[in-house]
Amino acid sequence: MDGVMYVWNVWSRGQKKVRVFNYHSAAIKCLRWSQDGLSLLSCGYDCSSMLVDVETGIQRQTFKEDQVVGVLKFHPGNFNLFLTGGSKGLLSLWDVRIGRVVQEYIRNLGPILDIDFSVDAKQFVSSSDISKSNASENSIIVWDVSRQIPLSNQVYVEAYTCPCVKYHPSDPFFVAQSNGNYIAIFSSSPPFRLDKYKRYDNHGVSGFPIKCDFSLDGEKLASGSSDGCIYIYNFRSSELLRKIKAYEQACVDVAFHPRIPNVIASCSWSGEVSVFE
């Protein structure tokens, strides 16, 4: 909320801040590491995305938009491209090499809550706020990356917003965290059907932007919860494997370590960040 980015030495006993970047003029909404680990890409309420060199601390590029930028994601196949979504429902694909938008994905959407690329990067899914009048038909849309067109109409018919969407790392599915207090699962192939007989529930979502994440092998699905706990499910059976009490306030995000299978990070509504092994 203070517009500052922090890079921490996770394994230091003193929890040492190794880098502090103060380039945004307003709250930061989303932050991503580049695939090579050398850069950070951030976006926020100052209507911009920024690319920062982690080693030197130099702000390499700024990408301005006519909306609050709420979420961004690097293209998994071309590290020079990244996708953004914002408060006006606009989705844009940027090219770092030329510093401008190369594709736009336009539909009558509410504010974009989350986006994620498929593993092959041929499609992506977007989730948008349905509080906008008549926008419930557009809350979850699957897009063709290269043709800039929707591959689906609305795939989630319940009147809940979904603050998180995530593709499975290997299987043809994606999940959506629903404010109905469960995670829904969909086929990632047309017609992108909702599995009506399988869901991941027990955790609380309502009122918070609760995120979820898959383990490296895709066998586990972890979720934050409004009760301050981390819930870990078996992806295949949807059985709750473990519940970890992490915070007094809501646990709003969880992330498996990108290399080490048994390490998971989380953060709370109060601003705490924790790493569990």
Give residue-wise pLDDT tens across range 170-229: 999 999 999 999 999 999 999 999 999 999 999 999 889 999 999 999 999 999 999 999
As a whole number of angstroms, the distance between CA 181 and CA 167 comes to 19
272 pLDDT band, cuts 50/70/90, is very high
- State whether 115 and 150 are in the same domain: yes
100 pLDDT band, cuts 50/70/90, is very high
- State whether 24 and 149 are in the same domain: yes
Q: Point out the domain boundary residue: 209, 241, 265.
A: 209
Which CATH number covers residue 71? 2.130.10.10
Look at residue 273 and give its three-state secondary structure.
Answer: strand
* In the predicted structure, residue 230 carries a pLDDT above the cut 90: yes
154 pLDDT band, cuts 50/70/90, is confident
103 pLDDT band, cuts 50/70/90, is very high
- State whether 167 and 250 are in the same domain: no
Are 251 and 273 contacting, i.e. CB atoms less than 8 angstroms apart?
Answer: no
As a whole number of angstroms, the distance between CA 207 and CA 46 comes to 24
Which CATH number covers residue 219? 2.40.10
* pLDDT reported for residue 14: 77
As a whole number of angstroms, the distance between CA 59 and CA 220 comes to 36
Of all residues in the chain, the percent with pLDDT exceeding 70 is 97
Q: Write the DSSP string, 82-102.
A: EEEEETTS-EEEEETTTTEEE
* pLDDT reported for residue 143: 97
Q: What is the mean pLDDT of the chain?
A: 94
* pLDDT reported for residue 218: 97
Are 232 and 221 contacting, i.e. CB atoms less than 8 angstroms apart?
Answer: yes
Structural domain boundaries enclosing 25: 5-209
Amino acid at 211: K
* In the predicted structure, residue 135 carries a pLDDT above the cut 50: no
Torsion of CA 229, 184, 73, 224, to 10 degrees: 0
- State whether 147 and 256 are in the same domain: no
* In the predicted structure, residue 127 carries a pLDDT above the cut 50: yes
- State whether 65 and 156 are in the same domain: yes
- State whether 216 and 131 are in the same domain: no
46 pLDDT band, cuts 50/70/90, is very high
- State whether 10 and 146 are in the same domain: yes
- State whether 56 and 135 are in the same domain: yes
As a whole number of angstroms, the distance between CA 211 and CA 208 comes to 9
* In the predicted structure, residue 132 carries a pLDDT above the cut 60: no
- State whether 238 and 203 are in the same domain: no
- State whether 151 and 261 are in the same domain: no
Tokens of 60: 């390499």
Q: Point out the domain boundary residue: 164, 185, 209.
A: 209
Which run of H or E residues covers position 214?
strand 212-214
What is the total residue count of the chain?
A: 277
- With CA atoms as reference, report the closest residue to 36 among 53, 19, 50: 53
* pLDDT reported for residue 81: 97
Q: Point out the domain boundary residue: 209, 236, 252.
A: 209
As a whole number of angstroms, the distance between CA 108 and CA 101 comes to 19
- State whether 69 and 157 are in the same domain: yes
- With CA atoms as reference, report the closest residue to 152 among 193, 181, 102: 193
- With CA atoms as reference, report the closest residue to 101 among 143, 140, 76, 64: 64
Give residue-wise pLDDT tens across range 184-194: 999 999 999 99
Task: Please count the structural domains in the chain.
Answer: 2
Q: In the sheet where 100-105 sits, what is the strand order?
A: 69-74, 81-86, 91-95, 100-105
- State whether 23 and 129 are in the same domain: yes
